[in-house]
Each structure stands twice: as structure tokens, then as C-alpha cells.
Structure 1
Amino acid sequence: MTDDTPNRETDAEKARADGSGIVAPDDETPTWRERKTRTQGLSQLTYEYFERARREDQDLRQESDYVERDVLAFPTWPHEVIRNLAVASFFVGMLIFLSATLPPHIGDPANPSSTPAIILPDWYLYWSFGLLKLGPLNPELSILGGQKLMADRTYGVLANLVVVGFVAIVPFLNKGSARRPVEQPFWAAVGVGGVLFAFTISVYSAKNLIPMNLHLLFDLTFLVPIVGGFVTWAVLKTMREGYMYDLNRRYYRLRPPK
């Protein structure tokens, strides 16, 4: 009696693409049209994504003789699309649940005949509203007889354009491959300073509600981001001396081709 055990393959050991086992390689996986005819839902596709990602990660690590950690990339479809769709569906469901169980309270309608004492935009626009209040920085030119070159509101609009333009150009200026703040202390300090400035200028936009001297509040609006950025740079610069930069750079290096 011959032993044909090595030629046998149980159902549990088979690589199937229907979500009931380890997902098969791409050449054995049904196409999207074939998968669509099975009327599979988002949960099934999500399970396939995680199973396939796990299989590909395991296969690449077993075949690789690279000592460092491999940074593996997956194609947009179906891996990234299914993952993002699953995450987005979860958060949309949470928002629908919260809006159904905790509906927001609608206050009295606005009275068009009365102007409120304090006018503020939505909280996420406080920083922009604060830039419109930078009238003290608008210089008065003696050549114009002590008059300002432009109106304060125009000066505030230009300040918004400058800040937004700086935020937009930073990714083009910083083209390094650093993945941790300690690897580039300067740009990390720029980021911390920008976050602090967004906070301080937001506080300054509501200066009528802040129990503080307005001149001191105006000075702190620009002083705190500078001090915070400098402290961040100094701390990260000190940490970088004992940081194994070369090792961490190899740690994130892509797996070399075969």
C-alpha cells in the first residue's frame, strides 16, 4: 500500500480566495468580475484584504535574506481601497449613531435687528480671524504723513495669504527622507512653532474674552511660537547626538531587489 499522504491536501490546508482560508496568490485569485458575481459584502472584501496582506507579508519575509526590517508596499486596488473603505464606513457609522442618539440642540433664531457684542467665527477659523486683527503690525509711514499704506483689513487678508502660502510651500522645501522628528530637528521645530502660532493667534482672535492685558497678549502671540520652536530644536538636537541615525535609516530602507 503506497502512502500518498504528501500528495493529499485537505480543505483546511487549501489556499482559497473566498475568505474561508488563507487567500491564494494573485494568479489564483478570481478577478473582480468573478468576485462580483458572488455578491460579497464589504466585510467579506475586508477579510480578504487582511488575509492577502498577511500572506504576502509572510511570503516576502520568508523569501528575503535582508537582515533589516522590510518596508512592504501593497497596490492601491484592492488593498488600500478596501482598507480605507472599511475605516471610512466605521467612522460614518459612528457619526450616524451619534447624530441619531445625541441630536444637536438648535437655539433661538438670530435677530437681524441686533448685533451681538462679540462676533467670532467657528473655532477652526479662529486663526484666520486672528490674522485679520494684526492692525498693530501695519506700519504707519512718515512719507505718507503718518498714514498706513493699506487698510487694516487688507493687511489681514495679505497675512492670511502669507501664512497659507508658507504652509503650502513647506512640503516642497523639506524633501528629506526623515521619518522621526529627531532626525530633522529644524523642520520639527518649524512644525511645533506653526502649531503654537495657530493656537496663540486663535486665542488672540478672542482677545475680548481673555482676561489679560492686550499688549501682553499680543506679544505672547508671537513670542510663544518662537520660544517653543527653539526649545524643540534644542531638545531634539541634543537627543540626536545619542541617536543611532544610521541604524534607523537602514531600519526604514526598502527591501533591495532580488
Structure 2
Amino acid sequence: MTDTTDTDERNDATEEVAADGAGIVAPDDETPTWRERKERRQGLSRLTYEYFERSRREDQDLRTESSYVERDVLAFPTWPHEMIRNLSLTSFFVGLILFLAAALPPHLGAPADPSTTPAIILPDWYLYWSFGLLKLGPLNPDLAILGGQKLMKDATYGVLANLVVVGFIALVPFLNKGSARRPVEQPFWSAVGVFGVVFAVMISGLSIKNLWPAWVNVHLLFDLTFLLPFVAGFITYGILKAMREGYMFELNRRYYRLRPPR
């Protein structure tokens, strides 16, 4: 009987996670303060480890005591838990960037010649979509009332197209006020997102049409730029709409298992 009791006590003790290498994590009233940890001079690594273990234990206790895990919002103080974690992650990525910069230095080409103009001028790759909107001259309508002349210049038309696209992107957060976390919960806005991504890729390809091989049909590329986004959007909407009923059933059965809806 005594051996069984001792074994149970040892098993209970091993369930606690050691935070400082000397014993179990201290209770709340015995947890050393920041100044006390600093005076121990154990270094940032040991301090970070203790706080990570403390956060993990608090999270585990909250989830164990909670009667409804799915809807509970678990959080920790900004200082020191979040600050220590962010400092650790930031230090890791900064060190990785410094290592790559030292091990793989970028190649520096010949300096630019101000007396010559490059044959092809392109912006950075992440601005190709905006550069492509400046090449929508074929969509600039000719008005018969003006004698077949265009209402505005192609360059002005491209700038206006940029304003329209950027304005729509800025309005999306105000138009979509839902609380969905997954695309299947809002098929329409998911389809809008897919439409935007495909359109950005296609208009970026159109912006560098001078770099495409001669066998590429530029006119077909221009048509696909405005056709493929709609096709991708409709397909996305149809797939998510078909998945939504079964998905929401499984989701609600899991969410309302412990707390039925009112």
C-alpha cells in the first residue's frame, strides 16, 4: 500500500514541468519577480525559457478549468510574456537575416549610366499590377461626339484605373463586416478575394508583355486578363457554396457541443 502511494505521488510530481532546472514551476504566490530573476544573472535564454513555461502552464490551466474551450479567449499580459516572446522571435529572424547577408552577399551590378535610357523600364515586381493598369489604353473608349477622339489620354485613363482599384480595395473592409474566420463561411467574399488575386497576377503579366516570347499572343493575354478572374471567382464561389452546408454542420456540432445556441 505504501509503495503504491509513493508511486502515485512521484507520478503527480512528474506531471509538473520544471521551469528553472531545479524543481517544479513555483505557484503564483512564490513566483520570483522580474528583479529577482535579473539578480540571478542566468541570462536571457533561461529567463525566456521560464516565461515560456509559465505561459504554457497558465494556458493549460485555463483550458483545463474552462467549460467551453472553443469560445474562450485566452490571453496573457503584454509584459513580460508577450514582450519576451516577441523579443525572442525578433532576435531569431534578425540573426537569420544577418547570417544570410554575410553568407550570401547580394551581387552588385555595373553602375547606371545616366547618359543612356534602358530599352525596357519596369518598376519593382510588386508594382507590376499598377504598371499594368497604365496599359489599358485599348479600353479607353472613343466617343463619336468628339469626332472619334478619346475623352481622356491613355495615361490619365491608367491613373484613373489605379484610383478605382485602390479605392475598391480600401472599401472592402467596410463592406464586409462579417466575423467569419474561414473562406467557406463567406463564399462571396472569398470569391472576391480570389478574383482580386487572379486579376493582379494577370495584369502583372500584361505589364511585362514586352518580355514575353514572340509566340505569346498578346491580344489573347489581354482578353484572359479580364476573363480568368471572373472564371476563378465563380468556381471558388460554387465550390465553397457546395461545401458550406456540410462544413457548418460539423463546425456547429463541435462548437455547440458544450454550449447549445440560445
Class of the TM-score when normalised by the shorter of the 2 chains: 0.7 to 0.9
Task: State how far apart, in whole Å, the 2-side matches of 1:206 and 1:21 are.
Answer: 63
Pick which of 74-83 and 115-124 moved more: 74-83
Which structure is higher in helix share? 2
CA distance in 1, matches of 2:92, 2:70: 35
Question: Which residue, out of 248, 251, 255, partners 1:248?
Answer: 251
Q: 2:234, 2:52 → 1: CA distance?
A: 43
- The CA distance in 1 between the partners of 2:75 and 2:53, in whole Å, is 15
The Cα RMSD (Å) is 3.1
Question: CA–CA distance in 2 between the matches of 1:163 and 1:38?
Answer: 57
Answer 1 or 2: higher relative contact order, Cα 8 Å, separation at least 6.
1
In structure 2, the residue matched to 1:98 is 100
> Where does 1:197-236 land on structure 2 (aligned, <5 Å)?
197-211=199-213, 212-236=216-240
- Equivalent of 1:122 in 110, 121, 124: 124
Counterpart AA for 1:62: T
Amino acid at match of 1:239: M
Which deviations, in whole Å up to 9, do the C-alpha atoms of 1:198-235 show, x marking residues without a partner?
11111011011123222111111111111111111111
Determine if the alignment matches structure 1 residue 239 to structure 2 residue 217: no
**Following the alignment from structure 2 to structure 1, what is the Cα–Cα distance between the partners of residues 145 and 22?**
81
Q: CA deviation at 1:42?
A: 4.2
Gap regions ≥5 residues in structure 2: 1-5, 7-12
Aligned mate of 1:153, from 141, 152, 155: 155
| Structure 2 Cα separation of the partners of residues 148 and 54 of structure 1 | 66
Distance 1:116 1:110 in 2: 10
Structure 1 residues 39 and 67, CA, compared in 2 at 3 Å: closer, same or farther? closer
Give the match's secondary structure for 1:98: helix
In the TM superposition, what is the alpha-carbon distance from 1:71 to its structure 2 partner? Answer: 4.4
Q: Label 1:228 to 1:115 Cα distance change in 2 as closer, same or farther (>3 A).
A: same
Instruction: Give the whole-Å Cα distance in 2 for the aligned partners of 1:187 and 1:21.
Output: 52
Alignment check: 8 A CA contact 1:204 1:218 kept:
yes
Query: Is 1:187–2:186 an aligned residue pair?
Result: no
CA–CA distance in 2 between the matches of 1:98 and 1:67? 42
Matched residue count: 245
Counterpart of 1:8? none
**Counterparts of 2:245 and 2:60, CA distance in 1:** 36
Shift of 1:28: 4.8
Q: Distance in 1 between matches of 2:56 and 2:163?
A: 46
- Percent identity between the aligned chains? 76
Are the counterparts in 2 of residues 22 and 51 from structure 1 also a CA contact under 8 Å? no
Alignment match, 2:10 = none
Q: Please point out which of 135, 138, 149 is paired with 1:136.
A: 138
TM-score (norm 2): 0.79
CA 1:18/1:192 → structure 2, altered by over 3 Å: closer, same or farther? Answer: same
CA contact (8 A) 2:143 2:150 kept: yes
